Structure 1
Amino acid sequence: MSETVISVAAAEFGRDLEQCYRTIGALIDEARARGSRLLVLPEACLGGYLTSLGGTDESEEARQRRLRSLPPALNLDGPELRRIAALAGDLVVTLGFCEADGDTRYNAAVTLTGDGILGSYRKVHQPLGENLCYAAGSEFRAFDTPIGRMGMQICYDKAFPEAARGLALDGAEIIASVSAWPTARTAAAERLEDDRWTQRFDIFDRARAVENQVIWIASNQAGRFGSLRFVCSAKIVGPGGDVLATTGTEPGLATAAVDVAEALRLARDGGMYNLRDRRPEVYGSVVQRYGVVGRPERETAHA
């Protein structure tokens, strides 16, 4: 039996980079004190998320104000991530940030250690006006780390089963889903645990873990930023869909010790062979494009 101690955070991050470094450093110290080998931090750790999600109902004045207040765009090989790598040392750390690629911005995540970046990812699925601020990524790819083969997703990606399945088929044993997941935009509940978007967040986490038989680690932002209030709910979910540790709807650090290889063996050899028993030859409609009314677009529609 070889257990890996994993920690995941629900924490608050804003535009002040020095405060972000202090918060990340404190979480790294706490995770290390708990014996963790992996720490998963939220989306947009370095400079915070968007102040609002915008959309079709946004005024031009509000749009310009939001675009003027974007998070800093950072390079993969820049000093900011090197600073986090130095803090990480031998700890594997996953975190989100705004990545610069020339003049193009991406909502991005990296997994790194003191030796450098192990894997990077650009968010594929964009909610409610996020495309006004970021370009979209184009692939899901797993990568090797000292604690097993991992994959990464960002926030809204978790609502798409194909995204997690793609990582599982690429050999991911652990999927880190980093988020800045807010409460519902309309009819938000006073208590976070009653909010319907909190409930969706939790449902997606457990479903993605059990249907792909992976260790699922979901981080999230906490507190408020601009018009957004975040639901916390950071958690570690086993490959059977069982929640091994969670912060609930409070900020903090959730930690669990997991024998990754044994947990996957028990799930994948325990009578449900989700990956083995797939029938891709009958899934053609899954990759058809859909129109705005939810009906598949016909190949000849524009002929």
Structure 2
Amino acid sequence: MNPSRRLLKVIVFSAALCSLSWLVSPLRAGEPAPNGWQQVAMREAVKPEFTYLPHGSFDGKGALVIAAAPNQAESHGAWIKTFPVKGGQGYRFHVWRKTEQLTVPRRNAVVKITWLDKKGNLIPARVQGADDKVRPVFPADGTTNQAGWTEVTDVYPVPVEATQAKVELHLRWASQGRVLWSLPELTPEAAPSQRIIRLASAHLRPRNGKSAMANCRQFAPLIAEAGRKKADLICLPECLTMCGTGLDYADVAETIPGPSTEYFGKLAKEHNLYIVAGLLEKSENLVFNTAALIGPDGKLVGKYRKVCLPREEIEHGISPGHDYPVFDTRFGKLGMMICWDVHFPEVARNLANNGAEVIAMPIWGGNPTLAKARAIENQVFLVTSTYTDPNRDWMKSTIIDKEGNLLSIGKDWGTLVYADVDLSQPKLWRFLGNFRERIYRERPVEGFVEPAESR
């Protein structure tokens, strides 16, 4: 080869390497690369600072550190390593993470895992009836210890065709601060077992009741039927102690726990299930529209006070709730909301943010399209119990899945609606992958900002 042409090729090749040096770069001098980890910046202009601390983790092991670079509006980069995996098995990912001066750790310090074949390509998959790829997963944050280290872990079934997993430990969108990652582990572990549960709803409008307790008793046959069908949960409708009695909200209001929860507690224990009942609650001089959760041991698990009140309840002096509690049950995490709440996305989103897998919603009547939206946008199962005539194009007594499908619908008064769902299976969306995981990592820093004139 002509020497001048050979020299030209060397120069071009060297220039190409230099142009990529910002993308994947070695550690700073004197710091050995830990177990093959590489540093990657998303762009040269947002490249953070990378260091390795051999004893930087709280357990005395090494820590991979990414810090926001000085004099940059934002920094975004990641430590990346590829692990060998055996397709068709389950694997547990585990890492400890500590953040310092990061604004929103759930967005700033993120783990991303991508399953790849032997050629380093995404795995083909059929998703929602169409050709797609197996998309990356994003393990969620767990508990934080006293030293400020947060456990990030989850177990995943590995696609059969996968031979490797690309693990990325990110610092992103950071104008200050840093993140320390302990050296991660990816180890074989049995994939999560199925969590198939049966959700039920009572499609019943109380008739001719003269008291709160008379109305409660009308639901006993449907609760018994739910027990015979081995339901894990039955949802009853809103304000069930008032509906059809001719009494006012305050007339039937009672303490919680109180007579109604005691009555339903006996039924819950007898039939070995959870009951969500829409009641009117009296607390000091206030009245709340409340959903009570009673457990199979017959005891009150907790309650939710309706946050969004319609004009009728406002005019009757009902007070709003302010909290979004989520309760641990034997089948998973349960949240509750009530009727008018469904017309506002904040309520279901706050429950989902707090971990709800299932939301039970006693409801007088409402827009079924919005109920579907709440299930879809939060990737939860929604159980509703309504007083609406099933022939109307309005709310149904139903179980709604993560795609917004009505799995079962109450068509006749006095009937039980039920469906089986699997809480262990994430819903995979075409191109999006596991949307539930991505909501946590990618939703806005804040919810709805008050207009300036109302502050």
TM-score normalised according to structure 2 size: 0.51
Residue in structure 1 matched with residue 256 of structure 2 by the alignment: 76
Alignment of 1:136-285 (within 5 A): 136-181=320-365, 201-222=367-388, 233-248=396-411, 252-262=415-425, 264=426, 266=428, 270-273=433-436, 274-281=438-445, 283=446
SS of the equivalent of 1:158 reads helix
Residue in structure 1 matched with residue 449 of structure 2 by the alignment: 287
Q: Does 1:30 pair with 2:225?
A: yes
**1:151-185 Cα distance to aligned partner (Å, 9 max, x none):** 1101000011111000001000001111112xxxx
Quickly say closer, same or farther: Cα 1:5–1:298, change in 2 above 3 A.
closer
Give the root-mean-square deviation of aligned CA atoms: 2.7
The 2-side partners of 1:102 and 1:70 are apart by: 12
Name the structure, 1 or 2, with higher relative contact order (CA <8 Å, separation 6+). Answer: 1
Rg bigger for which structure? 2
The 2-side partners of 1:248 and 1:98 are apart by: 27
User: Percent identity over the alignment?
Assistant: 29
Q: Which is richer in strand?
A: 2
Instruction: Structure 1 unaligned segments of length 5 or more: list them.
Output: 52-65, 182-196, 224-228, 290-295
Q: Does 1:94 pair with 2:276?
A: yes
The 1-side partners of 2:395 and 2:378 are apart by: 23
Asked if 1 retains the 8 angstrom alpha-carbon contact of 2:336 and 2:361, the reply is yes
Instruction: Structure 2 unaligned segments of length 5 or more: list them.
Output: 1-193
The 1-side partners of 2:309 and 2:362 are apart by: 14
**1:163-214 Cα distance to aligned partner (Å, 9 max, x none):** 1000001000001111112xxxxxxxxxxxxxxx5xxx21011110010001
Give runs of ≥4 in structure 1 deviating > 4 Å.
Answer: 229-232, 248-251, 265-269
**1:17-57 Cα distance to aligned partner (Å, 9 max, x none):** 34323222111111112221110010112232796xxxxxx
SS of the equivalent of 1:167 reads helix
The 2-side partners of 1:49 and 1:159 are apart by: 24
**1:116-157 Cα distance to aligned partner (Å, 9 max, x none):** 111201111111231132111111121111221011101000
Quickly say closer, same or farther: Cα 1:71–1:42, change in 2 above 3 A.
farther
Matched length:
252
- Residue of 216, 230, 237 corresponding to 1:42: 237
Quickly say closer, same or farther: Cα 1:252–1:176, change in 2 above 3 A.
same
- Residue of 273, 294, 297 corresponding to 2:453: 297
Asked if 1 retains the 8 angstrom alpha-carbon contact of 2:211 and 2:245, the reply is no
**1:58-77 Cα distance to aligned partner (Å, 9 max, x none):** xxxxxxxx85x754111112
